[in-house]
Amino acid sequence: MTVLNVHERCFPAPLEDVGALIDRLGGAEDRLWSPDWPPVRFDGPLAVGVAGGHGPVRYVVSHYVPGHWVRFRFTGPRGFDGFHEFSVEPLGDGRTVLRNTLVVRPRGVRWLGWLLFFRPLHDAAFRHSLDCAERSLTGQVACPVQWGWYVSLLRAASARLMPRQAGRRGSGEPRPGP
């Protein structure tokens, strides 16, 4: 079975400003990815064919239209076939949607890994990235994401198991939820 997972937010900003967030992903001026998560890193400037990832997730840039769209094809961990992408969609009146779409087919027992580990962390990380985008574009976050106890537990366990890949604490870290 294939997973379709979409996170999006509408911003009161022109396409050019929102698209620039995609173009800076993984670079020194990255305002999209939160410093509270394992950093996005690439082997070179964002371009088709460049390898990268964040934490244990590895991928290669398969498509890139500067200012509009980037798609990453998964190369690891093994057993996860698919991609995730960032795209922008102009709505008119100076509003633009920033969207992250993940399409993945976990094979075999990787389904359990997706359900119990990767999905909760993916959802929290990409909601947090939308908070970062909102802060960058508007100067504030109207409704910051809050992590539940399970995401906090997974992050703590991940930090113990993969200390060099664990997220860095930053000023914009959401508070654990109820």
Spell out the domain ranges in the chain.
3-161
Q: Going by CATH, does the domain composed of 3-161 fall within 1.10.3720.10?
A: no
Q: In the prediction, which pLDDT does 160 show? A: 83
88: left (phi over 0), alpha (psi -120 to 50) or beta: beta
CB atoms within 10 A of CB 104: 21
Long-range contacts of 107-116 (CB under 8 A, 24+ apart): 107/79, 107/80, 107/81, 108/79, 109/79, 110/77, 110/79, 110/80, 111/1, 113/77, 113/79, 114/3, 114/80
- What does the pLDDT read at residue 124? 97
What's the helix, strand, coil split of the chain in %, to 5?
A: 30, 35, 40
Alpha helices in 12-170 (DSSP H): 15-23, 110-113, 119-138, 149-161
For residue 5, give the nearest of 113, 70, 85 by alpha carbon.
85
pLDDT of residue 169: 37
Sign of CA dihedral 162, 84, 119, 115: negative
pLDDT score, position 167: 42
Cα separations (Å) of 174 from 8, 132, 165? 18, 11, 19
pLDDT band at 163 (very low <50, low <70, confident <90, very high): low
pLDDT class of 158 with cuts at 50, 70, 90:
confident
88-143 pLDDT, tens digit each? 999 999 999 999 999 999 999 999 999 999 999 999 999 999 999 999 999 999 99
Please write the tens of the pLDDT for every residue from 32-81: 999 999 999 999 999 999 999 998 899 999 999 999 999 999 999 999 99
